[in-house]
A and B are shown apart, each in its own frame.
Chain A
Amino acid sequence: MRSLIRTHATEFSLLAVIVVISTVLSFATANFFSLGNAFDLLNISAVNIIFAVGLLVVLIAGGIDISFAVAASVVQYCAAIVLGWIGGGGWISGLLIAGSLGVLLGCVNAFLIHRFRIISIVATISTFNIYFGLLMFFTRGVSIYDLPDWLTDRVILFEREMPDGTWIEITLPVLVMAVCVVATWLLITRTTIGRQLYAFGDNPEGARRFGINIGAMQFIAFGWLGLMAGIGGLIQAHYAQEVVPNALYGRELDVLAAVVLGGARLGGGKGSVLGCVLGVLLISITQNGLNLMGVSPFAFKMIVGAIILIAITISNTRIERLLAFVGEKGAGR
């Protein structure tokens, strides 16, 4: 147990913070501690968690991707058009189209990074601008509301009436999220490819000499993120019941903050699915709690930002070291 805590320090401290915040919120607000609210949280966070586990794979492989949220917007738009052409389709064809478009866009990044040795942040900032610029140019910023019925109909997988008359429900996004999370977990912990991704992220040159196919690693990591971005984009369209070209713009940085908060290291070789999910949940729970406490929605981002800033300050510095620094200053250096 002790070694488990030591090897999973980030996950445990995140869990502890979530427990503390949840306990406080349960006493401070009437509605926080209820099954309905927990399910609401899952429904709301589903898309972000899908993006987050995809980004996690890229971060583990030592890369960074800025373009995935915009890629998801491109996938949404193209998928909506393609589905119109083929005359409707269904969930299977929708997910196939969105997934393969996403993989395609992810592979563009992998190709630039691997073939031309462009650093991943440079390559993905370029593709971010290319995708977003072209999307806004061709769509002229016009949204699509005329989506197929199967895509906009809410799919309720589980519902139950609570004693107080409210309905609790789990919707399709949560199922898709669970599949994506489990698939990513299997990929990075239960397969050879997963171990190779960690090795590659930790030490690319060492991995290369060990006989790991560097190109394959890049394509798998960015392709996986592309797949998740595509699926996430389709689910977002389902959830919002519309396709707005710039709706996901800016989401990439929020997701990145959550994933890194969950213990993934910028630089590669570290990170877990559990930590990543907890990172997203921590932010969602904070926002949800503030909402229930009646705090103005305009203040959410401010408080969330401050919490992340404090969390990283504390998680990177032991309290003793902070105190020692104060003492040092006091000694008149």
Chain B
Amino acid sequence: MTTILERVKTALGPEMAGPGLAFVAVVLVFGIASPQFLSAATFGSVAFQLPELGLLTLAMLLPILTGGLNLAITFTANIAGLTVAWVLRENGGVDAGVGIFIAGCLLALLVGAASGVVMGLVIAFTRAHPILVSLSMMIFLRGLGEFLTRGGDISGFPAFMGPIGHGSIAGIPVPLIVFIVCVVGWHVLLGRTKLGFNTYMIGSNLEATRYSGINTRKAIVLVYTLSGVMCAIAGIIMLARFNSVRIGHGESYLLITVLACFLGGVNPFGGFGRVIPVFVALVVLQLLSSGLNLIGANQHLATAVWGILLVGVMILRWVASKIRISIIRRGS
């Protein structure tokens, strides 16, 4: 029995404790407080809302693991969505075919990657701080989007795009399928590939990694490129869900993605953190917001509670470390 517990513990890792406990607590509290909480409707709404925030969080995760930050994620997603919208409008608007849409998506992925490549190159070769680089990229992309759209909405897309945002296959929403595929992809990338290994190494100690013969610049550029590609996927999903593009869509998610990463046990200085705990943290955040919604509170209160949850988890972590230290002292 203990060996199984040990094995589960090592498989889940130390990062799992915070989000896991939060998950249990949220389900228990709302399960007692509201009889409708543990129903298919709640999980259905979570399943539809999760992917938007989740994909952006995945885009934020990789740079944080290298010890950086990508503040341009929401506007990269907006610009990617805008690219799709532009391709569709130039080629028939509402009557555009599936082929056009796919071409637009590919172009959007390229645009996302391009924004990532620029940031990655500047960060890797000038050693400027990632916060500043991605911040200026964010300001640039926001300005570019506002310039192109004049601050307005763009809508009027072909009907077949609706199911990508709202449809479901075998009862599972399509955005959720896309999101889970991306989660698995990131999990494999970080756990099984050379780039994933290098990402953790760079986050722990950039200089040591460089001296051990790893091309850190290439790895950093790749990390930001992948982050940009993930933003583009998020942008396409957002486009299909809202059936419109507007610069500023999802802007309020920016700091929530950072919050979700930290809640998922990712080290703010990089080097430590895994995808699955971040996924659980995201589910917790969405469950909280759905639960509060059921009780009758609005989204803004949910935002405040998300912040309180993060502070609470951090304080619990501090308490746990104090207890651990006192146990070690007593033991010796």
Contact = CB atoms under 8 A, between A and B. Distances in A.
Nearest to B302: A133
A305 B314 contact: no
A254 B147 contact: no
A137 B301 CA distance: 6
B122 A122 contact: no
B200 interface: no
B30 interface: no
A325 interface: yes
| A contact residues, range | 35 or more
Interface centre among B135, B136, B303, B315 (most CB of A within 10 A): B136
B323 interface: no
Given A112-B311, A121-B268, A305 B128 contact: no
A16 B203 CA distance: 36
**Which 5 A-B residue pairs are closest in the complex by CB-CB distance?**
A133-B304, A305-B140, A301-B143, A302-B143, A129-B307
A308 B126 contact: no
B151 A298 contact: yes
B259 A305 contact: no
A260 B132 contact: yes
A261 B135 CA distance: 11
Nearest to B149: A298
Interface stretch (A142-150, A198-206, A235-243, A311-319): A311-319
A266 B255 CA distance: 18
A253 B72 CA distance: 11
Contacts, number: 154
A309 B310 contact: no
Nearest to B309: A126
A296 interface: yes
Contacts of A126: 259, 307-308, 310-311, 314
A317 B127 CA distance: 8
B140 A306 contact: yes
Interface in A119-138: 119, 121-123, 125-134, 136-137
Interface in A260-275: 260-261, 265-267
Contacts of A325: 125
B303 A132 contact: yes
12 contacts: A116-B318, A117-B318, A118-B318, A126-B314, A129-B259, A256-B131, A257-B136, A303-B143, A304-B143, A313-B126, A313-B128, A316-B128
